[in-house]
Amino acid sequence: MRLSKYYMPTLKEEPADADIASHKLMLRAGMMRALSSGVYSYFPLGYRVIRKVENIVREEMDKSGALEVLMPAMQNAEIWQESGRWEDFGPLMIKFEDRKKRQYCLGPTHEEVVADMIRDEIRSYKDLPYNLYQIQTKVRDEIRPRFGLLRAREFIMKDAYTLDTDYEGLDEQYQVMYDTYSNIFERCGLEARVVRADSGAMGGSSSHEFMVLADTGEDELAFCTSCDYAANVERAEAFIELDESGETIEADLEEVHTPGAKTIEDLVDMLELPASKMVKSMAYIADGEPVVALIRGDDQLNEIKLKNYLGAVELRPAHPEEFEDIFGSVAGFIGPVNLANDVKVIADRKIKELSNVVTGANKKDYHYVNVDIERDMNEIQDYLPLRKVIAGDKCPECHGELEIKSGIEVGHIFKLGTKYSESMNATYLDDNGREQPIVMGSYGIGITRTVAAAIEQNHDEKGIVWPVPIAPYQVIILPLGNSDDVNKAAENLYNDLNEAGIETMLDDRDERAGVKFNDAELIGIPLRVTIGSRSLKEDKFELQIRRSGEESMLDKDKAVDQIDELLSKIT
């Protein structure tokens, strides 16, 4: 591709409305522009990278035996009403009416369509298994679109759906997808990790996330430094050895005046006690019911775990006025002793070993000290692992040390089971002629998200550093000065490289050397060949590897072979 004819409007300045590296760099490199909030036009350079990722995904999916289909973006309300998700999806789902006033949505996912599409076609256990996938533009109306392609409203996704007669079949296909996804991200040249995940609104029994590691990642991941254990912090657990033998110093429950001390930090200062001797009581409304979660003063609550334990659809912190009306308490001074009777109390497991702790007294500006769990508290419904794991915690499997890294979710696989096939009556006849629900799995990769994650993981202060497999072009040639010899040598090398199947850009623009160098670094092409009069006299070209900055000389007559060899070595 000749840059003089390429539509690649690069920007020298940092765009004001972009917060993170991938967003800034995709705008600066002329890869895309926003049409509206979270909705982007992909320009030639950007779309080329997207298609590279798509092709790797397609090849690996095909290799796994999955079959490519394309399902509608525009989906009628009826199938979503059947599954019960027409309301559940909330405002994330774009809804509209057609000219006959029938209701539709822009499908944010396709479980319902798959179930509908196959239920009239699949009759017998002999017709199964299948894995159907598509690569498609999807729309989800995010409440706060941001971070460019990491949280966009319109985006490209690969989604796949497996159909099996039983859970053994699902397990097998799930494992094939697990391996396929691992191959895909490896082939893209990305450092990715698989973690156990929460299956959230999708339902189902088991779920893994594929994460590209990057400091800017939205997700926190816990990895064991000794074994394979890896999980999203949302669901990670730590091994906790409880010391329940702790001698309790007999002391009476005492109310102390703690004016204005609404936080653990305030109390630590005021009472001169460590946070580990305090119990935080956190008030929530779970699907309309009041709940208090107890956690040690120096721990953080993991809301996802609480929500999952309660099986709640909606969990939110209580509003200030609800403390009085519902909990019989006061915001900032809530505690488990003498709470309103109908409030459910759940405690983190670590609470069990505590004695003589501080809690709120349910009265403005007062706390209790010398609280004894068993003696003083309301009935505790359950002790659960509710705290968020932190770096240094012990691995739940091998008791090794956990570390926490940031990652960007690029893939997610789910064992759905029969949630959709039962509600939508997608069944088959087993070998006894009995009707059985089809067992489903669902598997997603964010294609445009993967491109952004690749940049988050691979960039420096000068711009993008593409991994070779997804680089839009592998080589960029910069002819410097405007001599005929230089231009001719550049032209020849450009033709020779393209002929050898090496995707090459030629910066034939009438621009200063500085502009060409800056743009080449910004757009992150793995190898840069500079052709100038001086070295050309000695039949040499200058080569620089974008990632390492390493420089070397190429021989004019062997340049294609030398570049070809180098490309097979670098990442």
Q: Which residues bind its own copies (CB under 8 A)?
A: 5-7, 9, 33, 35-36, 39-44, 47-48, 50-51, 65, 67-76, 79, 91, 94-96, 98-99, 102, 104, 106, 113, 116-117, 120-121, 130, 132, 136-137, 139, 141, 143, 153-154
Cβ neighbours for 277, distance < 8 A, ≥ 6 positions apart: 297, 354, 356, 357, 358
Q: Compute the C-alpha angle 21/26/28, nearest 5°.
A: 90
Element (H, E) at 448: helix 447-457
Which residue, 115 or 294, has its beta carbon nearer to its own copies? 115
Q: Which of 63, 64, 67, 153 is nearest to 114 (CA)?
A: 67
Of residues 368, 371, 364, 359, the one with CA closest to residue 335: 359
513 with 523: CB under 8 angstroms?
no
Q: How far is the CB of 5 from its own copies (least distance, A)?
A: 7
Provide the strand spans (E) within 80-129. 95-97, 103-106
Nearest CB to its own copies, comparing residues 36 and 568: 36
Concatenated DSSP letters for 300-328?
-B-HHHHHHHHT-S-EEEPPHHHHHHTTS
Nearer Cβ to its own copies (38/297): 38
Shortest Cβ distance from residue 98 to its own copies (Å)?
5
Minimum distance from residue 198 beta carbon to its own copies (Å): 24
DSSP state of 151: B
Task: Give yes or no for a contact between 475 and 505, defined as CB atoms under 8 angstroms apart.
Answer: yes
Strand partners, 67: 132
Strand partners, 475: 504, 527
**Least distance from its own copies to the Cβ atom of residue 14, Å:** 16
Min separation Cβ 308 and its own copies, Å: 26
Identify which of residues 141 and 365 has a Cβ nearer to its own copies in the complex: 141
For residue 6, give Cα distances in angstroms to 31, 177, 457, 463, 467. 11, 38, 27, 19, 22
Q: Which is nearer to its own copies, 163 or 230 (CB)?
A: 163
* Phi, psi angle pair for 224, to nearest 5°: -85, 135
Based on CB atoms, which residue is closest to its own copies, 94 or 301? 94
> Do 410 and 185 meet the contact criterion of CB atoms below 8 Å apart?
yes
**Cα(453)–Cα(185) distance, integer angstroms:** 11
Give the closest residue to 29 by CA, choosing from 510, 524, 507, 549.
524
Q: Helix 559-569 and helix 484-499: axis angle, to 10°? A: 50
User: Minimal distance in Å, beta carbon 438 to its own copies?
Assistant: 13
73 DSSP 8-state letter: S
Neighbour tally for 170: CB within 10 Å: 25
Between CA 90 and CA 68 the distance in angstroms is 29
Kindly state the smallest distance separating residue 110's Cβ from its own copies, in Å.
Answer: 9
CB of 113 to its own copies, least distance (A): 6
User: Would you say 156 or 279 has its CB closer to its own copies?
Assistant: 156
**Nearer CB in complex with its own copies: 136/355:** 136
User: Judged by CB, which is closer to its own copies: 93, or 318?
Assistant: 93
CB of 432 to its own copies, least distance (A): 20
Query: Tokens 């000389």 belong to which residue?
Result: 553
The CB-of-12 to its own copies minimum distance in angstroms stands at 14
Beta bridge partners of 296: 279
Q: Which amino acid is at 366?
A: Y
Backbone angles phi, psi at 348, to 5 degrees: -65, 150
Q: 3-state DSSP call for residue 182?
A: helix
Q: Which is nearer to its own copies, 6 or 309 (CB)?
A: 6
Q: How far is the CB of 511 from its own copies (least distance, A)?
A: 11
- The least distance separating its own copies from the CB of residue 419, rounded to whole angstroms, comes to 20
Please say which residue, 132 or 489, places its beta carbon nearer to its own copies. 132
Which residues, in sequence order, are CB contacts of 90 under 8 Å at separation 6+? none
Cα-Cα end-to-end distance for the chain = 22
Quick one: 42 or 327, whose CB is closer to its own copies? 42
* Strand 254-257 versus strand 435-437 pairing type: unpaired
Q: How far is the CB of 324 from its own copies (least distance, A)?
A: 32
Q: 136 or 359: whose CB is closer to its own copies? A: 136
